[in-house]
Structure 1
């Protein structure tokens, strides 16, 4: 017999007033089968689960068996969707089982996605299809391995029941772990109802949970806005650094913790195009690669509107203070962006012309339709070759690395103009070897390329989970050159390119 609970739940959000959430239980499914269980993450969360008991895990992570101490609920929130405000959205196919405190002392939500309808389902079935579940599992774990703050994947289960979208698809349930699921849209839910007490309760909860150092701030709610803005500016800069396009950065998809959430129609750049859009529902390009920083600032402005009554009793004063945060958002993003891209080209120090140097490379990449990930990785190879020495063999290696960097990535005349400028700037760094090592630590060899994700999903729909498991293995160490996964670093052939990605709902 077990003496320890399966989950050491301590459910702080369930203790908030009833208008914050709705109590709801998962709907049982007919034949749950475990697809994947993240044992290392479970251990970090302190979960007492037997990895070999797959039937038990399938029962728990499908929602068929509720662990003791769980207090399942659907969270209420609102949100701007593609700029249009919806006063009530909420968890329509997600059920928060509860919270645990991980090995680092951080409180984590454990949530089922696709476990049945909730009071916020808006005529939806509350279910998830297998493809979106696999996509979220792969991308969330890849983001974690890349060092990008993101929600995590704990488990995926096939339900044994169909779901009906444009076609009939296998149903699945995804278990997501997050620092919390409080969103900008959660604040908008209470602001839309002019519920100032609710806004204050929510703000105090977020400060207690995520930003305890702000409790003693002179203006804690202004400080909260500032901190959330800072986290979002840094997060989006890091997205751009790996060529990530979220696809649907609505206010209900923006966490106040600063984690990436909701990997619906997300995608990664193959060839560099700053206006690239993959999402099938983003017809106007609102969330294109280049537009993400401006959208993030717009979303922070919506949060600022919610917090105005708490920031200052004088509305004009509150607006002035909030506008100051928005102005600093732009400054913070620019600082975060150039810090990311300096490191990508091997620079630890700062010089005034660095942004122009980066932009010159990006312009050449755009003109040459260069593969975003491979360009920076091969530039790292070139830096390594240059740092190796001055012998004849080393010079040959450098020339080969230079040819590999240029060929197929940018016009020769652009490379011939840009490379000397880069070498001249790199020469002012303390160590060539250090610059090369830095570049290899921030420029991944492997990302979850769109065509690989689609291949994994297609195979899984045919009953073969092998490509899913292999892709998941490939993205676990993205900064290492592993010969057995070399094919996962390659650009897609023209016939493999993914032009559109789709939302899981």
Structure 2
């Protein structure tokens, strides 16, 4: 593993030097061999499970690694916390993948740091395995995401009410720079550090920006906004609910990061919430786009001093970007929904069709993933699918619209296949796997992961994981796992 640690070259205020806390009996539970190959990790290392357990538990740092905890702040459910930071995570460095893209390697659950705020710095095995499952599923679904390289059992209990087996998860991300990182320096009035961070982020994530001065900062904000629109549209396409879209969980790279109380929507409802801590539905399924806009407004606020020393003048330059985000997202959403229905382009007619379909799905409590999957079967004439009566009338209008647009059934089906998964990581199946790990039982996670790795096609075991929850997830709740 060839480490190239650029973040550690920034000013000392950006992080704290801290080593992971060793664990008693590290044991490698999950290893992402395909990701390891993309990261060019040599096979001589990947075949040594004992050494992998040492490296990715934090007991022993790989050669060239340097362990730090990152500084940041953030808005948590709308309330600003000026001092957060990595409370149970250690960034051990960066390596380049097969495409020469720089990737962070971070251990999570690896012990306390100066930012732990009296926490134990550990992670239970359930949340660690959840992050592995969900991030790999999102990657296969084509959603921008951080990924997991390994899960290592610590051999020690952690206490979250009851004692649970502990684990460390290794996260691989484009970076761990967050909106909250910018907020930290802006809230302190440290313009030198704020500018240093901005220039570093541009060089690392948006190197095509060649302008200077205020124009450079504004271009950076524009590109981060575009990434967020792409990300949230992808979430909505597959029915993903992040659950805790705080600014400290909003990566400026545009990747999904932090899979704590996340979940997948079964029965369609725009107000779907599963997170136990989101009591007012701030981060409900359909609120994710407005919250992304809110988060981008917080980033814009942090960048104001770099744009103009006159705050009113700076606001006048960035406010149109934030306002325009609503229309940009709506266009992206309409285009996405059109593709889910087999249309290459959106139109007023197609927009009306998708809106009517979602209303019918909500009224009749239809499963989000299965409804689009069944529509694909209908258009391809693969099977007779029983639909609720009002949906039959809608299907007739949909097929007529496809014909009027001169779109053949085969072309529509091909586009729908690319945008509508056959299988998703349904909550009850994820929980069944997590329960097996927590109880120390033999897990069928490898079969589950193999199905999730091919979400747009049928494999040998796909049908085992297509079924919706028996109770429609009415009582399902997710937790942070901290």
Superposition TM-score tier, normalisation by shorter sequence: over 0.9
Quote the offset at 1:496 in angstroms.
7.1
Structure 1 residue 201 and structure 2 residue 203: aligned? no
Residue matched to 1:502: 479
SS of 1:172's equivalent? Answer: strand
Q: Is the 8 A contact 1:342 1:354 kept in 2?
A: yes
1:101 to 75, 96, 108: 96
Residue matched to 1:445: 422
Residue matched to 2:463: 486
Residue matched to 1:248: 244
CA distance in 2, matches of 1:495, 1:166: 28
Q: Is the 8 A contact 1:151 1:259 kept in 2?
A: yes
1:166 to 158, 161, 167: 161
CA distance in 1, matches of 2:177, 2:137: 23
User: Hey, which bits of structure 1, 4+ residues long, moved more than 6 A?
Assistant: none
1:44 to 38, 60, 63: 38
CA distance in 2, matches of 1:496, 1:273: 12
Quote the offset at 1:429 in angstroms.
3.7
CA distance in 2, matches of 1:480, 1:34: 30
Q: Is the 8 A contact 2:266 2:473 kept in 1?
A: no
Q: Is the 8 A contact 1:109 1:177 kept in 2?
A: yes
CA distance in 2, matches of 1:366, 1:336: 22
Residue matched to 1:313: 309
SS of 1:264's equivalent? Answer: coil
SS of 1:502's equivalent? Answer: coil
Structure 1 residue 477 and structure 2 residue 461: aligned? no
Q: Is the 8 A contact 1:217 1:223 kept in 2?
A: no
Residue matched to 1:324: 320
Residue matched to 1:16: 10
Under a length normalisation based on structure 2, what TM-score does the superposition of the two structures give?
A: 0.97
Structure 1 residue 113 and structure 2 residue 102: aligned? no
Query: Which string of whole-angstrom CA distances, capped at 9 and with x for unpartnered residues, describes residues 49-82 of structure 1?
Result: 5333111111111011111111110000000000
Q: Is the 8 A contact 2:102 2:174 kept in 1?
A: yes
Structure 1 residue 280 and structure 2 residue 276: aligned? yes
The alpha-carbon distance between structure 1 residues 143 and 495, as it changes in their structure 2 partners (threshold 3 A), is closer
Query: Which string of whole-angstrom CA distances, capped at 9 and with x for unpartnered residues, describes residues 137-193 of structure 1?
Result: 000000000000000010000000000111100000000000000000000000110
1:168-247 correspondence to structure 2 within 5 Å: 168-216=163-211, 219-247=215-243
Structure 1 residue 78 and structure 2 residue 55: aligned? no
Q: Is the 8 A contact 1:348 1:429 kept in 2?
A: no
Structure 1 residue 63 and structure 2 residue 65: aligned? no
SS of 2:143's equivalent? Answer: coil
1:419 to 383, 395, 412: 395
Quote the offset at 1:468 in angstroms.
2.3
Flag structure 1 segments of 5+ consecutive residues without an equivalent: 1-6, 386-396
CA distance in 1, matches of 2:360, 2:433: 33
Instruction: Give RMSD over aligned pairs.
Output: 1.3
CA distance in 2, matches of 1:45, 1:424: 48
Residue matched to 2:443: 466
CA distance in 2, matches of 1:242, 1:259: 15
Quote the offset at 1:217 in angstroms.
5.6
Query: Which string of whole-angstrom CA distances, capped at 9 and with x for unpartnered residues, describes residues 189-222 of structure 1?
Result: 0011001111100000000000011133670101
The alpha-carbon distance between structure 1 residues 456 and 322, as it changes in their structure 2 partners (threshold 3 A), is same
CA distance in 2, matches of 1:283, 1:382: 39
1:138 to 133, 151, 158: 133
- Structure 1 stretch displaced more, 172-181 or 62-71: 62-71
Quote the offset at 1:335 in angstroms.
1.2
Residue matched to 1:54: 49
Under a length normalisation based on structure 1, what TM-score does the superposition of the two structures give?
A: 0.93
CA distance in 1, matches of 2:423, 2:285: 19
1:376 to 339, 348, 372: 372
Quote the offset at 1:501 in angstroms.
0.7
Quote the offset at 1:321 in angstroms.
1.3
Q: Is the 8 A contact 2:73 2:183 kept in 1?
A: yes
The alpha-carbon distance between structure 1 residues 24 and 196, as it changes in their structure 2 partners (threshold 3 A), is same
CA distance in 2, matches of 1:328, 1:204: 25
Flag structure 2 segments of 5+ consecutive residues without an equivalent: none
Query: Which string of whole-angstrom CA distances, capped at 9 and with x for unpartnered residues, describes residues 353-383 of structure 1?
Result: 2211101000000011101000001111111
CA distance in 2, matches of 1:204, 1:52: 39
CA distance in 2, matches of 1:318, 1:431: 50
| Corresponding pairs, count | 479
The alpha-carbon distance between structure 1 residues 221 and 495, as it changes in their structure 2 partners (threshold 3 A), is closer
CA distance in 1, matches of 2:189, 2:351: 44
The alpha-carbon distance between structure 1 residues 124 and 429, as it changes in their structure 2 partners (threshold 3 A), is farther
Quote the offset at 1:485 in angstroms.
2.3
Quote the offset at 1:284 in angstroms.
0.6
Residue matched to 1:29: 23
Q: Is the 8 A contact 2:433 2:444 kept in 1?
A: yes
